[in-house]
Structure 1
Amino acid sequence: MNYTLPSLPSLNAGEEYNGTYNETVLSNNSRSENDSGLTLGQYIWHTSLFLISIFGLWGNGTVMWLLAFCLKRTPFTTYILNLSVADFGLLTVVFISRICLVSDFLTYLADEMLVLIFLFVYTTGQFLLTAISIDRCVAVHFPLWHRCHRPPNMSTTVCASIWGLSFISPAICFTLFLADFDVYIIEIIQFIANGFLCLPLMTISTLILFVKVCFKSHQRKRGKLLIIVLLALFFFIIFSFPINALFITVYILDSNPPSFFQYAFFYAYLNSCINPLIYFLVGRQKRGRPRRNMKAILQNAFKEEENLQEAVDAPVETQL
């Protein structure tokens, strides 16, 4: 199979608008033959990604700051904080790649570094959402254990383990790249493995939580927290399916769909921006009530977890 990954097709996706796909590295991206440099379509594409990146960086940066320094830390917000860091890192890669492409400053080494960082943070975000979905399913089906017997630092340990495991594959790829080996196939396999491992678990967890929320009346009291998880999982499944299907098509079916690259990675970028919007929409007050700032909105969105944790700790301390 003659295939070269153009800097993760994601970073080069959307460069072609005439139904053909240019299989070259980022440093040789297609330019118009006139003196204007980028075509109108390419300018629109770059501008769209700039706007998405800026919006996502602002949203995830705000969530990171508030959860890290302004709000009480809980096991659930620990997951959310790490997820925001992963999304912030992915959008930073997108932002830098756009600047480098427009300025024609992206070298082959810098291209590969951006690819590996993208792989690192995208894999981390996918694993974190999988851990969040499993954690919520355990909380719903085994509430007593989850409230009273779960190790207090379990969320921190899980997040640290996920960051460490996600770093292994990019580190191996970078080492092989320096040794002048072709690492594109390893990157493709990593995306396929992520899809086969995470998507089924997240899909099953989403269905379980959806059934609990919609058909079990006593679960509706925890509405906001579970709604946040359900929406985050739903959008990730929808937006991640194209990128996993893309690499399965490229590697297993030996096919290279031209225009599917830009849509698959555009959805991946968009997914990294959507979680702060979910927190805002779910956590905001109803109409007729005074407006709140982002800190109060996040408190309202995650307060059920905090109140639940306080209610659990009180009887345990009484028994002691």
Structure 2
Amino acid sequence: MEERNTSGTFSSMGSSTPAWSTDSTTMNRSYYTGNLYCVTMYKVFSILSLIICMVGVAGNAIVLWLLGFHMHRNAFSVYVLNLAGADFLFLCFQIVFFLKQILLLFNVNSFYVPFYLTNLSLTAYLAGLCMIAAISVERCLSVLWPIWYHCQRPRHMSFVMCALLWAFSVLLSHTLQFGCSSQLSVHGYSYCGTVAFTIVVFIIVLSVIPCGFNLALLVRIFCGSQRIPVTRLYVTIALTVLVFLLFGLPFGIYGILVISKMKLPSIFSCDSSYITAFLSCVNSCANPIIYFLVGSIRHCRFQRQSLKMLLQRAMQNTPEEEDGETGSSGILESKKQPCVVVE
């Protein structure tokens, strides 16, 4: 993997071409051309990532504003609110990182980024992943065990879970920073690799959980004895999970392995970090687009409405035929099962 120096270019580009060998001259020219291609790709992806991050920050800010101050919150919208907050913070940190890289490309070295921002960025990433897993589990429980969900589920479970998931994400990211930055070792054994491997496994497990629960829900919807209608909320969750698996997961695994200073293979002879960072920005930017896109579709047609109404409809947990029954809160709960106490 190529290392970039303080000027933002690849360090290998500073090597001179020997003049005593025609073969070595040809090889070095080819090597220089390859490095020039990598630098060009790095510049393009850095600029595109910065633009996408700005769009994503605006989109997640709108979701935070609407869910936080203008809409009634239910169990699912609490997770969406925290997911938007995690994406907002992650994109803000990515803007700082990409802005620094772009300035380095123009030989501006006065832009200082504190090291703790990397830790905060990892915290936001892990928190977003936890929210996706939590909302998938919550939705599956509401369908597979509706009586328990509506009768015995704690009232403030969503708020408590979000607080615990944020605390767990902070603890996990600080553990990685402490284990790798301080280079703790006992009898020559370093804890950095162990901590990094543990977090990578944790990310993979958290990525499998939404897939498993959404698959179980899909089987229950189409193969169950009682027909369960597909709601907009299910479509929103399914698209969010799919986008994360395609665009968000590679960044987490690659980034933690880089932090642990492991040697990783490069893609197309170039540094792969800018590609995974670009994909992560797409993932965080796509979530608000998913909400408004799902909310704008009604009876297989797009409708123009306010952003508040679109977000309300994307969070609806009722079939499309019941859209007209939306009350003043704007967010429909699924029809509650009667609480029957068996003596």
Band the TM-score falls in, shorter-chain normalisation: 0.7 to 0.9
Q: 2:242 maps to which residue?
A: 234
Identify if the C-alpha distance between structure 1 residues 184 and 72 changes in structure 2 by more than 3 Å, giving closer, same or farther.
same
Count of residues paired in the alignment: 285
Identify if the C-alpha distance between structure 1 residues 247 and 230 changes in structure 2 by more than 3 Å, giving closer, same or farther.
same
CA drift of 1:58 comes to: 1.0
TM-score, normalised by the number of residues in structure 1 = 0.77
2:100 maps to 1:88 = no
Q: Which has the larger radius of gyration?
A: 2
Q: 1:101 maps to which residue?
A: 101
Instruction: For 2:160 and 2:67, locate their aligned partners in 1 and report how far apart those are by CA, in whole Å.
Output: 18
Q: 2:53 maps to which residue?
A: 53
The question of whether the paired residues in 2 share the 8 Å contact of 1:173 and 1:186 is answered with no
Instruction: For 1:223 and 1:308, locate their aligned partners in 2 and report how far apart those are by CA, in whole Å.
Output: 11
2:330 maps to 1:294 = no
- The match for 1:132 among 130, 135, 139 is 135
Identify if the C-alpha distance between structure 1 residues 312 and 203 changes in structure 2 by more than 3 Å, giving closer, same or farther.
closer
Deviations, residues 105-124 of structure 1 (Å, cap 9, x unaligned) = 454x72x3232112111111
Instruction: For 2:252 and 2:110, locate their aligned partners in 1 and report how far apart those are by CA, in whole Å.
Output: 30
2:280 maps to 1:268 = yes
Identify if the C-alpha distance between structure 1 residues 290 and 129 changes in structure 2 by more than 3 Å, giving closer, same or farther.
closer
Deviations, residues 77-98 of structure 1 (Å, cap 9, x unaligned) = 0000000000111111110111
Counterpart of 1:312, as a letter, is K
Q: 1:17 maps to which residue?
A: none
Counterpart of 2:47, as a letter, is T
Identify if the C-alpha distance between structure 1 residues 281 and 66 changes in structure 2 by more than 3 Å, giving closer, same or farther.
same
Q: 1:151 maps to which residue?
A: 154
Report % sequence identity. Answer: 25
Q: Which runs of 5+ in 1 are unaligned?
A: 1-20
2:199 maps to 1:219 = no
Deviations, residues 123-168 of structure 1 (Å, cap 9, x unaligned) = 1111111111111111111011111221010000000000001101
Identify if the C-alpha distance between structure 1 residues 245 and 95 changes in structure 2 by more than 3 Å, giving closer, same or farther.
closer
Counterpart of 2:78, as a letter, is T
Instruction: For 1:281 and 1:214, locate their aligned partners in 2 and report how far apart those are by CA, in whole Å.
Output: 24
CA RMSD of aligned residues (A): 3.3
SS in 1 for 2:72: coil
Counterpart of 1:280, as a letter, is F
Q: 1:196 maps to which residue?
A: 204
Q: 1:307 maps to which residue?
A: 332
Q: 2:34 maps to which residue?
A: none
The question of whether the paired residues in 1 share the 8 Å contact of 2:200 and 2:256 is answered with yes
The question of whether the paired residues in 2 share the 8 Å contact of 1:213 and 1:226 is answered with no
TM-score, normalised by the number of residues in structure 2 = 0.72
CA drift of 1:239 comes to: 2.4
Q: 1:208 maps to which residue?
A: 216
Instruction: For 2:198 and 2:85, locate their aligned partners in 1 and report how far apart those are by CA, in whole Å.
Output: 21
Counterpart of 2:240, as a letter, is A
- More helix, by proportion: 1
Q: 1:23 maps to which residue?
A: 3
CA drift of 1:256 comes to: 1.4
The question of whether the paired residues in 2 share the 8 Å contact of 1:246 and 1:261 is answered with yes
SS in 2 for 1:307: coil
The question of whether the paired residues in 2 share the 8 Å contact of 1:119 and 1:187 is answered with no
Q: Which runs of 5+ in 2 are unaligned?
A: 15-37, 104-108, 185-189, 319-330
